[in-house]
């Protein structure tokens, strides 16, 4: 398979610190995710609470397909708490998941120019039109923020948004613009690759994949490059509300989600975390925030 970026040795700080979280050993046991009565657990914050459903998912998930955070034990007698519409097991690090404040900080043209206060960050990246701005709006519940990063001149920058005065959401340029000349496209890739490999405070890349259509080659290339370079990655499947089979290449979002995972599995030692989302219905919003909180709190402690 061709790669969208050229290879170089792995030498980023987040790898040593954080790989443990993503690259734990593969368990093989089957977990039967049925519990007698659904429960709802709430996470408090200053302004409101986030509820997570602990209903059993519709299908059985084998344990080797789950993302199990470190310091999280799976006991046979007690089913794990799995975030709805995802393969992510909740850990004791999931807390402070509510967004209280969000503000645009700066646009940078290179990694060295990014904020240097050491706060943890999550980078959103995906093919143009995948729904990245809509998701950003849905996460922060504000239209203005994503508009800022869509302003002419800022779409090709690393855009930092400060959340709760303690961490960053980072909007990276969309890839795969059909209209972009080849040379220009290569430059964006070089610049994003440098960010992925050298940004020491990058906790996880959030790779957005459109679940309403079959996997695109460029998305598979992007995911496989991240996997082979061991850049921590979470897959965010977008547009999961689009259920018309005819329009969506003959498949439901769930089928496209499964296909995408099968296609990238060879590039990962362990299954990456994934979440199904929709910016129309806000599906997956709370789950993204809880997942970010557990990654962030673990990262801060280690």
Q: Which residues bind ligand GDP (CB under 6 A)?
A: 126, 128-134, 174, 238-239, 241-242, 278-280
Closer to ligand GDP by Cβ: residue 265 or 281 = 281
Contact 287, 84 (CB under 8 A): yes
C-beta of 128: minimal distance to ligand GDP in Å? 5
Closer to ligand GDP by Cβ: residue 39 or 243 = 243
Closer to ligand GDP by Cβ: residue 78 or 244 = 244
Closer to ligand GDP by Cβ: residue 89 or 236 = 236
C-beta of 234: minimal distance to ligand GDP in Å? 17
C-beta of 132: minimal distance to ligand GDP in Å? 3
C-beta of 288: minimal distance to ligand GDP in Å? 13
d(CA 210, CA 221): 15
Instruction: Return the closest-CA partner of residue 206 out of 297, 295, 102, 122.
Output: 122
C-beta of 248: minimal distance to ligand GDP in Å? 11
Rounded alpha-carbon distances, angstroms, from residue 192 to 23, 80, 178, 236: 23, 36, 18, 18
Query: CB nearest ligand GDP: which residue?
Result: 131
Structure tokens at 191: 């610049």
d(CA 244, CA 266): 30
| Residue found by looking up tokens 């344990």 in the block | 63
d(CA 123, CA 171): 6
């Amino acid at each position: 398979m061709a790669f969208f970026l050229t290879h170089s040795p792995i030498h980023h700080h987040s790898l040593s610190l954080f790989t443990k979280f993503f690259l734990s050993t593969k368990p093989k046991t089957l977990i039967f995710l049925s519990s007698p009565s659904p429960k709802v657990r709430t996470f408090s914050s200053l302004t409101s609470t986030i509820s997570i459903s602990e209903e059993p998912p519709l299908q059985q998930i084998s344990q080797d397909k789950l993302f199990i955070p470190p310091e999280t034990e799976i006991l046979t007698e007690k089913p794990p708490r799995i975030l709805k519409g995802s393969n992510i097991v909740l850990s004791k690090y999931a807390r402070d998941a509510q967004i209280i404040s969000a503000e645009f900080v700066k646009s940078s043209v290179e990694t060295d120019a990014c904020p240097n206060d050491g706060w943890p960050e999550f980078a959103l990246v995906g093919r143009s039109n995948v729904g990245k701005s809509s998701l950003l709006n849905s996460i922060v519940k504000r239209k203005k923020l994503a508009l800022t990063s869509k302003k002419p001149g800022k779409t090709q920058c690393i855009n930092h948004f400060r959340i709760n005065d303690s961490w960053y959401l980072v909007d990276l340029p969309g890839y795969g613009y059909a209209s972009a000349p080849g040379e220009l496209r290569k430059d964006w890739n070089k610049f994003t690759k440098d960010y992925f490999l050298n940004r020491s405070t990058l906790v996880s890349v959030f790779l957005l994949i459109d679940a309403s259509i079959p996997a695109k080659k460029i998305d598979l290339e992007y995911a496989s490059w991240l996997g082979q370079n061991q850049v921590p990655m979470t897959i965010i499947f977008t547009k999961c509300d689009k259920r018309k089979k005819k329009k969506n290449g003959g498949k439901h979002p769930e089928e496209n989600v499964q296909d995408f995972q099968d296609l990238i599995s060879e590039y990962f030692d362990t299954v990456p975390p994934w979440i199904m989302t929709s910016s129309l219905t806000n599906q997956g919003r709370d789950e993204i925030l809880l997942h970010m909180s557990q990654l962030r709190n673990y990262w801060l402690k280690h």
